[in-house]
Amino acid sequence: MKLKICGMKYKDNTTEVAQLQPDYLGFIFYENSSRFFDGNIPELPKSIKKTGVFVNASLEFIIEKIKTHNLQAVQLHGSESPEFCDTLRHAELVSVSHHEKLEIIKVFSIKDNFDFSVLEAYEAVCDYFLFDTKGKLPGGNGYTFNWDVLKDYPSTKPFFLSGGIGLNEIDQVLLFLQKQESRYCHAIDVNSKFEIEAGLKDTDKIKRFKKLIQA
């Protein structure tokens, strides 16, 4: 099971977290977020995919950040249309260091139910779905949604499981990973439950969590 750590903000902390070898590190390029990233991403191991998180940003803004930070993945956390995703997908953006196509992750927020038919239009224009908790903020709300909803997941597209996941939820996560509805779960995405303060991650907690989900 892959692991994504989102909401990185501080250079030294990013370097420390990178030493734990997560599969993805997320940097939020959304000014209204308390985890807004406005610095330079330090040198990271090539195994870690630098992921830019955007909320209804312009295509030009996203492309600028991809080029500036050599992002390998883009997470779209707003109401971006399938047409927008398709335009981004065909923007001829290739990772400078990896020579791989950009991964596009489209986020959908869930509470107690979800209309999975909305995914159909996105099937051909993104690489992954990410299911997060519907809340006041576009992410980092700190609580889980009802994962039983995913029993009705109609797609074979791999997805990220996100929303309020921390060490206290580890039994719940491990149980989910044994169920049929987890068969297309590509990665676990964590953020606020592993923070000392917004954007500052507790590496000891992440290390324990990573060991448990990958055991």
Higher pLDDT, 174 or 93: 174
pLDDT of residue 88: 94
The chain-wide mean pLDDT, for the chain, equals 93
Give the Cα separation of 194 and 177 in Å (integer).
20
State phi, psi for 122 to the nearest 5 degrees.
-100, -10
Cα angle: 179, vertex 180, 186; to 5 degrees: 90
Question: Whose CA is closest to 27, among 1, 91, 57, 2?
Answer: 57
pLDDT of residue 172: 96
Give the Cα separation of 163 and 144 in Å (integer).
5
pLDDT band at 137 (very low <50, low <70, confident <90, very high): low
For 152-161, the pLDDT digits (tens) are: 999 999 999 9
Q: Residue 17 above 60 pLDDT?
A: yes
Say which residue the tokens 């956390």 belong to: 77
The answer to whether the CB of 5 falls within 8 A of the CB of 190 is yes
pLDDT of residue 143: 78
Longest dimension (CA), the chain: 42
For 38-75, the pLDDT digits (tens) are: 999 999 999 999 999 999 999 999 999 999 999 999 99
Give the Cα separation of 193 and 206 in Å (integer).
10
Give the Cα separation of 6 and 51 in Å (integer).
8
Q: Residue 209 above 70 pLDDT?
A: yes
For residue 44, give every residue at least 6 positions away whose Cβ sits within 8 Å of its Cβ, in sequence order, or none.
14, 18, 25, 50
Give the Cα separation of 83 and 89 in Å (integer).
10
| Residue 110: strand pairing partners | 133
Q: Residue 135 above 90 pLDDT?
A: no
Measure CA of the first residue to CA of the last residue in the chain; give whole Å: 9
Report all structural domains of the chain as residue ranges with CATH numbers, in order of start: 2-213 (3.20.20.70)
